Amino acid sequence: MDKTILGVDWGTSNRRAYLIDQQANCLAEYEDDQGMLAVGGRERFGASLDGLRTAMGIDATMPVIMSGMVGSASGWQEVNYLDAAVPLTELPAHLAPVAEAPWSANCHIVPGYAYRRGPSADVMRGEETQLLGAVVLGQRDGWLVLPGTHSKWVLLQDGVIQSLSTYMTGELFAMLSKGGTLSSMMGGDTSDAAGFAAGLDQAGVGEPLSNTLFRVRAGVVSRSAPAEQAAAFVSGLLIGAEFAAAARSLPAGGTITVIGSPALARRYAVAAQHFGLQCQVLDPHRVYCTAISQFIKG
């Protein structure tokens, strides 16, 4: 009988769990809003995991692999970052067992990665698992983009991280939408093609982001720009800022591989075309399941 494992992508706000077999098939899937912030403290993670098992009808003996913010300083147990020089395929050898009984018997946490450039550094937690899945699926070289709250641009060479840059794109968009002078204008359709394209155009100009953001408000209140396009414009501006920065490291006509939800992947594909890049897309669920299957011991 095939062995199975429970993979838990435990983020800041949400949690996704997959029951996976050795062939990377997803046998069951579950998602809720019980991310790190909702758990409410390190001492409550065990009970939260038990609740997840119960909801999925999974026995407590099932091995569990957890990735994401569960391994952060604010999570269940802080797990040290691996250096970027460690190949992604070696992740299974660096799992951290949960120290707290009884979960220590079969629950492990995937470490994140730290990329250091002199005095500066960049980090990831959770994305490394998706990158492992991409590598196993044959994506060992080139630029991979993982859009989201904190978008990651990663350059791989033979399955090893050569460069890592994080952009707070999703977080900035959420903050601008919920508070501040732009919030009242951010209720429009973010998929508005004209507004999104205008934002990409503006990002390519290279003007200071804070100045351009204020001019979104100025354009609306002066009736020089339609209010219904403000949200799409800001989305295009923020995503375009990623591409404007990253495109300097890519050759004209170069290719990026996006690992993201269909909605986000479509926006990044449009942005890639705008900046003269090719774009291919990998399904995030597929790469995650592929990665978790690598942690099943023979």
Predicted pLDDT of residue 100: 87
Stated pTM of the model: 0.94
Query: Which residues does 268 contact at the CB level (< 8 Å), separation at least 6?
Result: 145, 147, 239, 256, 258, 260, 279
Write the pLDDT tens digit of every residue in 229-258. 999 999 999 999 999 998 888 888 899 999
pLDDT in tens, 256-266: 999 999 999 99
One CATH from 1.20.1250.20, 3.40.367.20, 3.30.420.310, 2.60.40.10 for 169-282: 3.30.420.310
Domain range list for the chain:
4-138, 169-282
Q: pLDDT tens digits for 79-127? A: 999 999 999 999 999 999 999 888 888 999 999 999 998 889 999 999 9
pLDDT of residue 106: 92
Mean pLDDT, rounded, for 188-216: 91
Q: What would the pLDDT profile of 144-194 be if each residue is shown by its tens digit?
A: 999 999 999 999 999 999 999 999 999 999 999 998 899 999 998 898 999
Mean local confidence (pLDDT), 268-285: 95
Q: How many CB atoms lie within 10 A of CB 101?
A: 8
Residue 298: per-residue pLDDT: 55
3-state DSSP assignment of residue 51: helix
Distance (Å, rounded) from C-alpha 255 to C-alpha 33?
A: 34
| Mean pLDDT estimate for the chain | 93
Does the fold of domain 169-282 match that of domain 4-138? yes
H-helix segments, 41-186: 45-56, 127-136, 169-178
Architecture of domain 4-138: 2-Layer Sandwich (3.30)
**C-alpha span between 21 and 292 (Å, rounded):** 9
Which pLDDT belongs to residue 2?
Answer: 65
